[in-house]
Amino acid sequence: MKITFPHMGTTYIPVKMMLDELEVEVVLPPKSNKKTLELGTKYSPEGICVPFKIITGNIIEGIEQGADTVFMLTGCGPCRFGIFHALQNEIIRDMGYEVEFITADRFSNYQGLKEFVDQLKEASSSNHYIKILKTIRKGLKLLNEVDVLHDLGNKIRPKEINKGEVDYLFSHYENEIRKSYGYIEMMEITKSYQEKIKNVSINKSRDCLKVGIVGEIYTIIENYINFNIERKLGNMGVEVIRTTSATEFVREQLDFIPFIRSEKKKIYQAASLYLDIPIGGHAINTIGNIIRGVHNEYDGFVHLLPFTCMPEIVALSILPTIEKEQNVPIMSLVLDEMTGEAGYMTRLEAFVDLIQRRRELKNEGKSFSWY
Amino acid sequence: MSKIGLPRGLLYYEFAPLWTTFFEALGAEVVVSPKTNKKILDDGTRYCVDDACIPVKVFHGHVLNLKNKVDTLFIPRIMGIHQKEYICPKFCGLPEMIKYSINDLPKMINTKIDYTKKDQSKRTMNQIASYITTNKKTIQKAYQMANQSYTEYKKNQKELLISNNHNIMIMGHPYIIYDDFLNMSIKKKLKKAGLYPVTYDIFDESILNKYALGYHGKIFWLFFRKMIGACLYLIDHKLVDGVIYLSSFGCGIDSVVAETVERNIRRNSQIPFMLITIDEHSGEAGFNTRLEAFIDMLKWRNKDENYLSPYGDYVYSR
């Protein structure tokens, strides 16, 4: 059995490690790129959101490289994500490939978790439950460390003295991690790069703008579709705070287990002023994270969403009111396969200029209102 | 006596008799906004967030129309009306979308209608009624009357199927296939051409459920279940001569459902299928052209039965 799975930012690292540990052969599709998107767009329905298109492209590329099984998360909620696998199954079938889909339902209760474990057991026929559970624990640990590394990079990047040093380290990190195998090796590499990034020489006195990135999780995490927004903003001298990460997402799913804690309750509490129930997707997280960010004195927010994303459209209609009432600038960027990088850059630069000026005025003590 | 406004949009087309009878039996005056027209659409487009789909924009227009005429607006927050089944997230966030897009609104009844975990219709009805009256007897009676009129309405829809040879199935969300402005009176146009338009409402719920079970994925949307059930039933029974799917641009659910229906119909049957996407820029002329071409194709197919090959097949049998 050769198994492939779609990309979502750096989540491929722990997933590959887990499958490595369970001694399943993994076909890692190439990182999402233009060809992936073109392939995905060609075979996907016209009106579906861009995450679907890229994921479909990933799967097709994985199959072309020889995979015969696809591992895909599903879910059950108002968002389209839960139905991705069924539609992709049909698309792949109509293309003439014979592949099997292994799907794991969102593991938000013990039964779901058990199904997930059973699926893993099926994929790796010779392993015991204990080993699988241990592997899942290792996976969560590595996922956490990878996200820590990522956030560290975001913190250091705007302050670095030699421009481009963090980016250089990151590209080396990805090269090395792609060649590595298993938990111990991957963990070692991740830890060593955390140290390396910590040792990058920085200008401590520099006062950076703080911008929170909110919105739909795939567009936040997948660097290809958001044109490396963290890197771009970081190199403009802005400290970027990712409000949603893969770790946080998994924790939110698993927080029914007593010793796993997530920020879910706090986020919902913060959002309740504007939206008091979760409506699927990450709409409530978007609202809640903005309010929390306002309390932490972020200078602005960039709201990322794929075109036609249903939950985020609801959030989008609430944002103007939040902007006005909380007196904070928010820029929404709608992403799809037609988004051009140049227009995107222009808007980002303009946004950064605006919040820069806004902060200067604030520091000079002039009264200033966004409206 | 309080005036309650029902915007004629979205699930009004599914539940109109239920809601109207209920509020009237409680002793309120029900004001329904007029049928969708150009002004309502334009107003809605102006106030609604750009990325929303056209039915949501039209709904905004209906709310604007009612705003100054009533003292209470009924905009429920619908999470799901069957167990383990959701609706589009925009329905869940509809009260927020309206509240933050339109200023100076009258009081709103936005009770949560959530039967996804268990059927809470009684509790929900009590909550809604509490805005008008607290008399338990009246509520109970109104609830029964509303249920009755809804059942009757659904029954009437079923008797519409005439078994002749020229049925055309119109698929899509009820707020498109029953809104004659959005679907540009497609039914009238089909009837004029001698065809008989039907919708999936003619099928029994049990039939739809049975056939929907045959689908390999997990179904968790109300309309997905209904439409995939209808589609698989059609493939099995060949009741119709053609299928027209009306979808709105940017509709999240349609992007999945239309594709699934199309793939299934094309793979497993030879029923002609056409997908028409509607948005606020749709011109009627282009719509008519496509419809006429589709109708012509159906007619030629009947006339020249053996001479015209369906897409992908050979003209001559080998």
Question: Does residue A228 sit in the same domain as residue A252?
Answer: yes
**Burial code of A32-57, b = ≥16 C-beta within 10 A, e = fewer?**
beeebbebbbebbbebbbbbbbbbbb
Residue A232 in any domain: the answer is yes
A342 and A228 housed in the same domain: yes
Q: What is the mean pLDDT of residues A353-364?
A: 86
pLDDT per residue as tens digits for the range A117-168: 777 777 776 677 888 888 888 888 999 999 999 999 999 999 989 988 999 9
| Structure token pair of residue A303 | 């709201």
Tell me the domain boundaries of chain B. Answer: 3-157, 160-303
Token pair belonging to B15: 């539940």
Tell me if residue B270 falls in helix, strand or coil. Answer: coil
- Residues in B touching A78 (Cβ below 8 Å): 79, 86-89, 92, 221
Residue A366: the pLDDT is 64
Q: Is the pLDDT of residue B162 over 80?
A: no
Residue B178 to residues A156, A279, B174, B199, B246, Cα–Cα distance (Å): 57, 26, 6, 9, 11
Please report the sign of the dihedral spanned by the C-alpha atoms of residue A162, residue A239, residue A205, residue A364.
positive
CB contact under 8 A, A334 and B51: yes
Phi–psi pair at B43, nearest 5 degrees: -60, -45
pLDDT digits over B90-131, tens only? 888 888 888 888 888 888 888 888 887 777 778 888 888 788
Same domain, A235 and A88: no
Q: Do A116 and A216 fall within a single domain?
A: no
Mean pLDDT (chain A, rounded): 86
CA-closest candidate to residue A99, choices A65, A69, A56: A69
Mutate which of B45, B46, B51, B91 to disrupt the A interface (most A C-beta within 10 Å)?
Answer: B51
Q: Give B186-252 as a DSSP string.
A: HHHHHHHTT-EEEEGGGS-HHHHHHHHTTSSSPP-BHHHHHHHHHHHHHHHH---SEEEEEEETT-H
- Dihedral angle, C-alpha A89, A94, A98, A100, nearest 10 °: 10
- pLDDT, position B317: 52
Residue A133 lies in a domain: no
| A104 pLDDT above the threshold of 80 | no
Are A18 and A116 within 8 A, CB to CB? no
- Confirm if B241 and B167 have CB atoms less than 8 A apart: yes
pLDDT band at B85 (very low <50, low <70, confident <90, very high): confident
Residues A334 and A244 both lie in one domain:
yes
Residue A136 in any domain: the answer is: no
**Distance between CA atoms of residues B58 and B280, nearest Å:** 9
Top residue of A49, A91, A279 to mutate, by most chain B CBs within 10 Å, is: A279
Q: What is the DSSP letter of A266?
A: H
- In this structure, the answer to whether residues A122 and A171 fall within a common structural domain is no
Q: Point out the domain boundary residue: A67, A93, A127.
A: A127
- Regarding whether A273 and A244 lie in a shared domain, the answer is yes
- Per-residue pLDDT for A370 more than 60? no
Class of domain B3-157: alpha beta
Nearest alpha-carbon partner for B82 in B56, B110, B121: B121
Same-domain status, A123 and A153 = no
Residues B220, A77: C-beta atoms closer than 8 Å: yes
Which of A280, A309, A318 has the CB atom closest to B96's CB atom?
Answer: A318
Residues of chain A with C-beta less than 8 angstroms from the C-beta of B255? 45-49, 80, 308
Q: Highest mean pLDDT range out of A52-61, B24-33, B113-122?
A: A52-61
CB A300 within 8 A of CB A330: yes
Q: Do B256 and A77 touch (CB under 8 A)?
A: no
Q: Are residues A227 and A196 in the same domain?
A: no
Residues A161 and A270 in one domain: no
Query: How high is the mean pLDDT of chain B?
Result: 83
**Residue % of chain B over a pLDDT of 70:** 92
Chain B nearest CA to A203, separation (Å): 42
Chain A interface disruption, residue of B47, B48, B78, B96, most A CBs within 10 A: B96
Is B259 in contact with A85 (Cβ distance < 8 A)? no
pLDDT at B293: 92
pLDDT at B318: 47
Residue A81: CB partners within 8 Å, gap ≥ 6?
Answer: A51, A73, A74, A75, A281
A275 interfacial to chain B (CB closer than 8 Å): yes
Label residues B85-112 b or e (16+ Cβ within 10 Å = b): bbbbbbbbbbbbbbbbbbeeebebbbbe
Least confident segment among B47-51, B57-61, B300-304: B300-304
Q: Do A318 and B259 touch (CB under 8 A)?
A: no
Same domain for A218 and A366, yes or no, is yes
| Least Cα separation, residue B101 to chain A (angstroms) | 7
Determine the pLDDT at residue B139. 83
Residue A132 lies in a domain: no
Which structural domain range is residue A15 located in? 2-127
Q: How far apart are CA A246 and CA A139, in angstroms?
A: 12
**Is position A138 within any domain?**
no
> Which residue among A83, A275, A308 places its CB closest to the CB of B93?
A275
Domain count of the fold of chain A: 3
Nearest to B100 among A76, A307, A321 (CB): A321
Residue A137 lies in a domain: no
Helix (H) or strand (E) holding A100: strand A100-104
Distance from CA of B277 to the nearest CA of A (A): 10
- Tokens read off for B124: 């929900």
Q: Which of A285, A305, A314, A321 to mutate to test the interface with B (most CBs of B within 10 A)?
A: A314
Query: Is it the case that residue A192 has pLDDT exceeding 60?
Result: yes
B161 pLDDT more than 70: no
> How is residue A93 written in tokens?
């079938």
C-alpha distance from B97 to closest chain A C-alpha (Å):
6
Are the beta carbons of B250 and A308 separated by less than 8 Å?
yes
Please tell me whether residues A218 and A330 are part of one structural domain: yes
Residue A134 falls inside a structural domain: no
- CATH number of the B160-303 domain: 3.40.50.11900
Cα atoms found within 13 Å of the Cα of residue B217, Cβ hemisphere only: 25
Select from A204, A225, A255 the last residue of a domain: A204
Query: Does A272 lie at the interface with B, CB-CB under 8 angstroms?
Result: no
Cβ distance of A320 and B220 shorter than 8 Å: no
Q: Which of residues A306 and B157 earns the better pLDDT score?
A: A306
SS3 B295: helix
Q: How confident is the model at residue B142 (pLDDT cuts 50, 70, 90)?
A: confident
CATH of the domain at A215: 3.40.50.11900
Alpha carbons within 13 A on the beta-carbon side of B205: 5
Query: Alpha-carbon distance B60 to A329, whole Å?
Result: 26
Closest-CA distance, A171 to chain B, in angstroms, reads 36
> Which residue spans within chain B are E strands per DSSP?
3-6, 29-32, 72-74, 77-80, 107-109, 112-114, 167-171, 196-199, 242-248, 273-278
- Return the pLDDT at A371: 47
Tell me how many residue pairs between chain A and chain B have CB atoms under 8 A apart.
124
> If pLDDT is split at 50, 70 and 90, which confidence band does A82 have?
confident
Query: Which region among A104-118, A138-152, B261-275 has the lowest average model confidence (pLDDT)?
Result: A104-118
Phi, psi values for residue B86, rounded to 5°: -110, 170
Distance of CA B26 to the CA centre of its chain: 27
A135 in any annotated domain: no
pLDDT in tens, B227-245: 888 888 888 887 788 889 9
Strand order in the sheet with B167-171: B196-199, B167-171, B242-248, B273-278
| Closest by Cβ to A317, choosing from B100, B247, B256 | B100
Q: Would you say B60 and B73 are in contact if contact means Cβ atoms under 8 Å apart?
A: no
